[in-house]
A and B are shown apart, each in its own frame.
Chain A
Amino acid sequence: MSIRGKAYIAGAWEHPTRKAPDKSLAQLHAECARGALADAGLTKDDVDGYFCAGDAPGMGPLSMVDYLNLRVRHVDATDIGGSSYIAHVGHAAEAIAAGKCRVALITLAGRPRSEGMATGTTPRAGNPHQPDVQFEYPFGIAVANAYAMCAMRHMYEYGTTSEQLAWIKVAASHHAQHNPDAMLRDVVTVADVVNSPMVADPLHRLDCCVISDGGGALVVVAPEVARSLKRPLVKVLGAGESVKGQLGGEVDLTYSAGRVSGPAAFAEAGVTPGDIKYASIYDSFTITVLMQLEDLGFCAKGEGGKFVSDGNLISGVGKLPFNTDGGGLCSNHPANRGGMTKVLEAVRQLRGEAHPAVQVPNCDIALAHGTGGLLGTRHGGATLIMERE
């Protein structure tokens, strides 16, 4: 069974907050749910499927379904880190195609900024039953240094430079200047990035995404529901997902799970990277973007550095406009999980509702891709391809 054309994204809403010390986590989820349903022109009583991941408080979907007081006949709490919400859209399309639900709600929210979380640089002990913890936590594996080792190896194998990585941040900043909600709206230069303080070699401060509160939600619906609504029709064309780890010790840091999820999504969608007018690419760090672009086939492995240089990712300038909301590098990274906002901006682009300064003309096919967990140890990857009908 293919999900191609079996479901539509009818509602999409991003919480404007970037710092919410006065709100509870469940409340943020609820505000996002309300926003996305209102955007679609639906009510909470229309929802019969609910999707969430590890950012939702409580056991899987139990607490949030109860808090939101939903009457559901399908739930899914697949957690592949920040890429979960991209995978959820594909799962929702599968459930809708199988007749398990008609209106699927996906929510994400988090408040790491209010909680003072040093997201990227603090090693976290984790559950001692997690088999890798005893062999990794003592060595101080955090987030930044896990991604940094990928960057270091990529530089070694392919000659990728810090200046090339910096172009990714530069492009994001060009977009963020037009987003009034973005945390960082100043346009930066390659020099600004490579001269910012080193966090974990070779990643500088400006190679890292922001830490923000916030959230977002999506409503995925059956075709007949979508056609009954007044919103532009954003059709799900294809989806893919995978998990990649250390391969039993045959560690290869040069590629991501996107090498599996990307081709699967393209095959299901029946399109190629050349057909993609806009791409949302998870940007926890600059290196994340570069490796994912290669794995998705936008350029050959090892050519990512050249591909992202000279403004090639800037809307209106380059060949592949990316993260036109400013992405995680400049706008927000709610719950330390960037997959939701990746889908949200892709939907805005397909609807023609992105900021006019960054709107891609005739944006009919878009992609969202994410990496969840740690690129340098074990991570999930999810790819979603959508079309404006």
Chain B
Amino acid sequence: MNIMAAHSTERQIPAPTPTPETETFWQGMRDGKFLIRRCAGCGKAHWYPRALCPFCFGDTEWTEASGDGVIYSYSVMRRAPEPYAIAYVTLAEGPTMLTNLVSCDFDALRIGQAVRLAPTPTSDGPPVPTFTPVG
């Protein structure tokens, strides 16, 4: 297997299964908006999206995120039909989220690298929020 040539864009990403709590998030992804939840009480943004703030149990509301972030950690799954890069990306708004790094050279990935939102389509569902290195 030539791992140097492997890119996660080749991997078919399964569609997420929304819940009543997250329908708006996934509709946002269909509409080209990347939404996160922010607490109306304490003001903190969190991930993954919840109706109740995980910091203070206050009510939360949707807000559009910038899509900018940096790699907190990552790992390239080599033992897979199509290798792919899983990662935690820390958003400019604060929270760190699990995602994939796509359209990139897996061997050039580094913690601390700047990334930006690059959604990936799913076969029978909304696009999912994946990221790609900047520059």
Contact = CB atoms under 8 A, between A and B. Distances in A.
B95 A152 contact: no
A384 to B, nearest CB: 30
B19 to A, nearest CB: 7
Given A150-B73, A253-B73, A248 B86 contact: no
Nearest to B11: A140
B104 interface: no
B88 interface: yes
A197 B55 CA distance: 41
Interface string A132-146: 111111111110111
A131 B48 contact: yes
Interface string B69-105: 0001111111110001011101000111111100000
Contacts of A198: 3, 78-79
Contact of A138 (B50, B78, B90, B128): B128
Interface in A222-276: 246-251, 253
B17 A141 contact: no
B18 interface: yes
A311 B75 CA distance: 28
B98 A152 contact: no
Contact of A135 (B16, B78, B79): B16
B98 A139 contact: yes
B79 A144 contact: yes
Contacts of A134: 16-19, 22, 48
Contact of B78 (A151, A200, A248): A200
B95 A121 contact: no
Contact of A249 (B3, B45, B76, B112): B45
Given A121-B77, A134-B16, A197-B79, A149 B86 contact: yes
B86 A140 contact: yes
Nearest to A247: B54
B122 A249 contact: no
Interface of B: 3, 11, 13-19, 21-22, 44-50, 53-55, 72-80, 84, 86-88, 90, 94-100, 111-112, 122, 128, 130
Q: What 7 A-B pairs come out closest when comparing CB atoms? A: A249-B95, A248-B54, A148-B75, A249-B47, A251-B96, A134-B16, A128-B17
Interface of A: 121, 125, 128-129, 131-142, 144-146, 148-153, 156, 197-203, 246-251, 253, 377
23 contacts: A121-B79, A121-B80, A128-B17, A128-B19, A131-B21, A133-B17, A134-B18, A135-B49, A136-B98, A138-B14, A139-B98, A149-B86, A152-B73, A153-B111, A156-B111, A198-B3, A199-B77, A201-B75, A249-B46, A249-B94, A251-B96, A253-B72, A253-B88
